[in-house]
Structure 1
Amino acid sequence: MPAKVVVIGSLNMDLVTRAPRLPRGGETLIGHTFATVSGGKGANQAVAAARLGAQVSMVGCVGSDAYGHELRDALLAEQIDCQAVSTVEDSSGVALIVVDDQSQNAIVIVAGANGALTPAVIDQFDAVLQAADVIICQLEVPDATVGHALKRGRALGKTVILNPAPASRPLPADWYANIDYLIPNESEASALTGLSVDSLASAEVAASQLLTAGAGKVIITLGAQGSLFADGQGFQHFPAPKVQAVDTTAAGDTFVGGFAAALASGRSEAEAIGFGQVAAALSVTRAGAQPSIPTLSDVQAFPAP
């Protein structure tokens, strides 16, 4: 049977425009293109895990609008179990995304229905959590819900992953003991620790601080520099595969979903990180969030270094 991954988190409709560069304050730019694409960190990670070999269930909320139907249908098309995706009387979450000609992006999120994902909703679908091998959370739903899900995952003895995104401040101190793998990027690691994380050396300092706070293991993703794995035994750097980037949207989500799928299937941590990095590298060669996420066969066909 495929490994079972449960993703607790956000579903957003991404409103994506491409422009020559990111606009400055008060400035109006002429963009190249516009598209609406199913996204949200939670849904992106669910799609990534499903395409990369896992059996996936999504726990989240969508609005009673057209976007809500589209978001649910996008998950169902990936054979993702949506019994725990609730429809609420609100607008669905949206993300306003600008991608520049250098493939960098700026994003504004409006939570909408994602704010209705409460601890009570998590409890309502506890059987879904009980069936999981790995549980993934992010920060696009209420903090109380994330903390509750992490604690429940620990109580059930599941492997618990937190992708602290988006992060603007340190995590609550009592969360760390419930996290097996904490996976921030450079800016998120900076927000969690108050340190400037812009190199491999500074990532090691930040990872050490996060381990001291109580996280089981830490993986800091470093974009084109790859990723840094840290545990109580030390550090290991994983260089990134070399590709030509087109759009970095959802690269981090693809890494998290791929890592979780590989880990849940029984691969070693090093193998799971390498697998996630190849998946993320492939994703940046394509435009969009969910449309850019590769399949298991795509990753298997990627040439070995």
Structure 2
Amino acid sequence: MQRPRVVVVGSANMDLVVMTPVLPAPGETVFGSEFHQVAGGKGANQAIAASRAGAEAVLLGAIGSDSLGVTLKARIAASGVDVSRLRVVYGASGVALVTVDAAGENTIVVTPGANAALTGLTADELTAVRDAEVLVAQLEIPVQTVTEAALAARDAGTRVVLNATPARRLPAELLAAVDLLVCSVPEARAVLDGAGRPAPDGLPAELLAGLLGVVPRVVLTLGPQGAWYADRELPEPVHVAPVRVEVVDSTAAGDAFTAALAVAWGEGRDLVDAVRWASAAAAGCSRRMGASVALPERTEIEQLYAAGWPQPPGSPSDLLSPGTMET
């Protein structure tokens, strides 16, 4: 099978990760047990995850001129990602402060640094977008840059996967260029609110129905409750249960999911099956601590996929009525 070309436009940060028994409450100080410094940022994570999942991955992003930037570029490149177009701008690189508790839950504070300078895509960067099978983007860089990349992809016939995180309102021209939206419940509500549509507090069915009025395909992620896939051609949303593993750290599970989904779609998988495969990637990532260092290789994804769904995909039990959906 030919490796699909996946271009990721997004952030690159140095993650400063602290392990602690419990997440601190506002105003509280707790003792941490471990500290790690690893390459991260949703753009870098998803590019690395796409490479490990089997894609020819390209990262369009920006790093600072500091020592963190040098380390970031080297570590991303060591994971097989094409970093030849990664910009270096004067100043600090992006930094993420990550706290992870004993249950694998986390809090994250991001300082954009050089990521904020990723504006005005060059002709070479736009060519990379147009030559890809799939463009993947998130929202840790300026939204106008994401929009520019998505419009170029749409005009060239490149599929656009938007991971709408962190939650924010999005311009209509960006949403019009999205082929597949990946979002959590809070992110879904932000998208709907920005689009001038009701953002219900109820069942996923209501959120999915609203989102399909904005984009043609949606994956709504619900963490330990799995994910829902819906598109305008399906009579009902499809629930994909998570692969059960012992969770150590969920920090980059969403990035593993989005990247694997893009790779599977680029390989020509049916999107319901692609969501299953992506769920296996998220599970594999959750078994280890860290962000980019925890992202699974393709062999592990395949093993978890096979273990998670011994029955052929698409069985009638996968189609659930809105009244039975989990929240």
Q: TM-score range by the shorter chain?
A: over 0.9
- Contact in 2 for aligned 1:177/1:216 (Cα 8 Å): no
1:289 aligns with: 291
- The whole-number CA distance in structure 2 between the counterparts of 1:304 and 1:25 is 38
Equivalences for 1:1-305 in 2 at 5 Å? 1-118=2-119, 120-167=120-167, 169-193=168-192, 195=199, 202-213=203-214, 215-232=215-232, 233=234, 234-302=236-304, 303-305=307-309
- The whole-number CA distance in structure 2 between the counterparts of 1:206 and 1:153 is 26
1:273 counterpart letter in structure 2: V
- The whole-number CA distance in structure 1 between the counterparts of 2:260 and 2:152 is 23
Query: 3-state DSSP class of the match of 2:62?
Result: strand
Query: 3-state DSSP class of the match of 2:157?
Result: coil
Query: 3-state DSSP class of the match of 1:125?
Result: helix
Q: TM-score, normalised by structure 2?
A: 0.88
- The whole-number CA distance in structure 2 between the counterparts of 1:252 and 1:287 is 14
- Contact in 2 for aligned 1:117/1:141 (Cα 8 Å): yes
How far residue 124 of structure 1 moved from its aligned partner, in angstroms, is 4.1
How far residue 280 of structure 1 moved from its aligned partner, in angstroms, is 0.3
1:16-49 C-alpha deviation (Å, 9 max, x unpaired): 1011211122221111111111000001000111
- The whole-number CA distance in structure 2 between the counterparts of 1:60 and 1:23 is 32
- Contact in 2 for aligned 1:221/1:228 (Cα 8 Å): yes
- Contact in 1 for aligned 2:163/2:258 (Cα 8 Å): yes
1:244-276 C-alpha deviation (Å, 9 max, x unpaired): 111100100000010111110111112211110
2:320 aligns with: none
CA RMSD of aligned residues (A): 1.4
- The whole-number CA distance in structure 2 between the counterparts of 1:190 and 1:244 is 30
Unaligned runs of 5+ in 1: none
- The whole-number CA distance in structure 2 between the counterparts of 1:82 and 1:284 is 26
How far residue 193 of structure 1 moved from its aligned partner, in angstroms, is 3.0
How far residue 10 of structure 1 moved from its aligned partner, in angstroms, is 0.3
Query: 3-state DSSP class of the match of 1:170?
Result: coil
- The whole-number CA distance in structure 1 between the counterparts of 2:152 and 2:131 is 13
1:288 counterpart letter in structure 2: G
- Contact in 1 for aligned 2:47/2:59 (Cα 8 Å): yes
How far residue 165 of structure 1 moved from its aligned partner, in angstroms, is 0.7
Query: 3-state DSSP class of the match of 2:228?
Result: strand
- The whole-number CA distance in structure 1 between the counterparts of 2:250 and 2:295 is 11
Query: 3-state DSSP class of the match of 1:282?
Result: helix
Query: 3-state DSSP class of the match of 1:204?
Result: helix
The 4+ residue runs of structure 1 with deviation greater than 6 A are none
1:247 counterpart letter in structure 2: D
For these two proteins, the number of residue pairs brought into alignment is: 299
User: Percent of aligned pairs with the same residue?
Assistant: 38
- The whole-number CA distance in structure 1 between the counterparts of 2:302 and 2:228 is 23
1:178-212 C-alpha deviation (Å, 9 max, x unpaired): 00000002221233235466xxx622211211111
How far residue 70 of structure 1 moved from its aligned partner, in angstroms, is 1.2
1:35 counterpart letter in structure 2: H
1:75 counterpart letter in structure 2: I
1:211-264 C-alpha deviation (Å, 9 max, x unpaired): 112x12000111111110111133111111111111100100000010111110
Q: TM-score, normalised by structure 1?
A: 0.94
Query: 3-state DSSP class of the match of 2:212?
Result: helix
